[in-house]
């Protein structure tokens, strides 16, 4: 049973049992030879003006913003009596409105996850639009996923700000010895059961705080254990074009104020699917990378055309990276624990890092010792851990769902058996140590948050060329852990006082906000 399940593992990334409608028709066209956004279309003071004129306008803008902050305004910056105004001219509090010239808007966050976009992909010369967006906004060197570096654990970490041991999704598939059930990410009846999903996702926090939300296929359940749900929910459906997703996001943005969601989360799996099928260095991955880059451009430009760049924050993230496994070095479990040991495995959670559970009548200590001895002979190939000696940086021990023995191969190696060999293996994989650069994810932000963060950073470092605008520099944050994202979104929506307990670092975003 163990061998047959392992050999036919699915890598589609999402539940496949049901397909449901719910997206708008007439998808936008995102193919073609679009060129990088020109400087003439920059939102943040990058128009072709002389340096002195630019600096003068910037000075006037700061002065005017300061006046509004101290004196209030009728334009959405005024605050009720006793309410503290935000400290930045780029930001306004979550319960006030600001006009884009034709309609009133509350603070809005759009977060899009592009599954499998390795941080280093941005250095391939194939993402001019994401780089242009990051130049007008900001990006991080990388964003570190949680361990294991798999789709479902990391998407729930992004939603909750929790490590896997706390949010309960410890792999894409795993056994729960308390529930005596197996979580199967690609089966809706299993994956949508609320009992699996611990912690409070950001859309639940927002709804609890009176902020409407929209969920476009983000991995996770439609309802939590507290029966909370998003105001708008579009369930997973395979082969939905980027154009359709763009239309859906803009449809929500264009709703009347009283119906419009202030938090929109969306998910796109095509790059991850390409990476698994053909490897991270393949032509298909590069072509898909160009397509998601165009999607980012079209979304950002559509918001700019609505005069929303100073109102809507866009955050592009990914869940993990990808490494080449087209010609992997094979680690045979048979050689380590024998065929009897392989046949005694009842559950193998995750892959390529694998959590092992053995039959109760098996000498588990004997198998563990054999694995540890094998690792000692080949320390360059794999490591073996129990819940008692997991690396602390993984925060991956304090949960019964975590298998008692974990075998974690090094980059370039995969676990298998003599019977399976390379059958069904992908040409690209993730799930390795989250410290490996190949596993690192992307973070790009654009909007009032990024303008403010760059202004603070520019003001805190010496200048050799005198005054300049916040958009003249590409600001790159240091690599940070993805559990910090939950608190960022809470702050951007102005509901951080309602935040649920999480593993984010207290005060992490204070240097930017």
- Name the phi and psi angles at 146, rounded to 5: -80, 165
Contacts for 187 with CB less than 8 Å, ≥ 6 apart: 15, 16, 17
170 exposed, middle or buried (CB, 10 Å; 0-12, 13-18, 19+)? Answer: buried
Cα(443)–Cα(141) distance, rounded to whole angstroms?
Answer: 8
Which residues, in sequence order, are bridge partners of residue 344?
none
Q: Which of 168, 225, 231, 237 is nearest to 203 (CA)?
A: 231
Cα(70)–Cα(239) distance, rounded to whole angstroms?
Answer: 51
Q: What is the dihedral of CA 207, 213, 218, 219, to 10 degrees?
A: 10
The string of DSSP letters for 349-391 reads ESSSSEEEEE-TTS-HHHHHHHHHHHHHH-TTTEEEEETTS--
Q: Which of 356, 389, 384 is nearest to 370 (CA)?
A: 384
* Rg of the chain taking only CA atoms, in angstroms: 24
Cα(127)–Cα(295) distance, rounded to whole angstroms?
Answer: 11
CA 324 from centroid of its chain's CA atoms? 21
- Structure tokens that stand for 503 in this block: 């593993």
Q: How many helices (H) and strands (E) does the chain have?
A: 14, 22
Cα(312)–Cα(100) distance, rounded to whole angstroms?
Answer: 10
Residue 383 near residue 408 (C-beta atoms within 8 A): yes
Does 54 qualify as catalytic in the annotation? no
Annotated catalytic residue, options 96, 151, 213, 224: 151
- Structure tokens that stand for 205 in this block: 């926090």
DSSP letter assigned to residue 88: -
Catalogue the active-site residues. 151
């Amino acid at each position: 049973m163990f061998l047959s399940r392992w050999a036919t593992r699915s890598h589609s990334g999402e539940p496949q049992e049901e397909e449901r409608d719910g997206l708008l028709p007439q998808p936008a066209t995102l193919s073609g030879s679009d060129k990088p956004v020109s400087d003439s279309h920059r939102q943040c003071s990058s128009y072709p003006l002389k340096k002195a004129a630019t600096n003068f306008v910037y000075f006037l803008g700061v002065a005017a913003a300061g006046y509004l902050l101290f004196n209030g305004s009728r334009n959405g910056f005024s605050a009720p009596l006793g309410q503290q105004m935000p400290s930045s001219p780029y930001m306004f509090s979550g319960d006030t409105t600001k006009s884009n010239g034709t309609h009133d808007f509350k603070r809005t966050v759009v977060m899009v996850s592009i599954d499998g976009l390795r941080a280093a992909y941005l250095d391939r010369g194939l993402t001019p639009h994401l780089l242009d967006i990051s130049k007008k906004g900001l990006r991080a060197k990388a964003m570190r996923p949680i361990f294991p570096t798999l789709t479902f654990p990391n998407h729930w970490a992004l939603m909750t700000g929790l490590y896997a041991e706390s949010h309960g999704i410890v792999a894409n598939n795993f056994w729960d010895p308390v529930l005596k059930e197996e979580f199967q990410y690609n089966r809706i009846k299993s994956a949508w059961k609320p009992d699996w999903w611990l912690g409070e996702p950001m859309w639940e926090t927002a709804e609890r705080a009176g902020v409407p939300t929209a969920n476009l296929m983000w991995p996770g359940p439609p309802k939590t254990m507290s029966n909370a749900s998003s105001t708008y929910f579009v369930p997973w459906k395979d082969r939905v074009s980027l154009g359709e997703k763009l239309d859906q996001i803009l449809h929500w943005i264009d709703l009347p104020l009283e119906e419009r969601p202030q938090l929109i989360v969306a998910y796109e799996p095509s790059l991850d699917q390409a990476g698994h099928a053909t490897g991270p260095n393949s032509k298909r991955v590069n072509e898909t990378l160009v397509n998601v880059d165009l999607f980012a451009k079209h979304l950002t430009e559509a918001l700019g055309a609505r005069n929303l760049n100073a109102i809507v924050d866009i955050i592009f993230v990914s869940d993990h990276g990808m490494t080449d496994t087209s010609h992997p070095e094979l680690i045979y479990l048979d050689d380590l624990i024998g065929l009897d040991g392989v046949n005694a495995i009842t559950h193998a959670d995750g892959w390529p890092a694998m959590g092992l559970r053995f039959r109760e009548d098996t000498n588990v200590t004997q198998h563990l010792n054999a694995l540890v001895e094998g690792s000692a002979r080949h320390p360059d190939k794999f490591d073996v851990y129990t819940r008692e000696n997991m690396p602390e940086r993984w925060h991956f021990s304090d949960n019964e769902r975590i298998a008692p023995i974990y075998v974690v191969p090094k980059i370039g190696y995969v676990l298998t058996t003599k019977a399976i060999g390379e059958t069904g293996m992908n040409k690209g994989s993730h799930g390795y140590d989250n410290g490996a650069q190949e596993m690192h994810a992307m973070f790009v932000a654009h909007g009032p948050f990024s303008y403010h963060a760059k202004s603070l950073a520019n003001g805190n470092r010496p200048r050799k060329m005198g005054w300049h605008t916040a958009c003249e520099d590409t600001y790159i944050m240091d690599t940070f852990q993805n559990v910090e994202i939950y608190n960022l979104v809470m702050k951007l929506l102005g509901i951080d006082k309602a935040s649920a307990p999480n593993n984010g670092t207290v005060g992490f975003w204070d240097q930017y906000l």
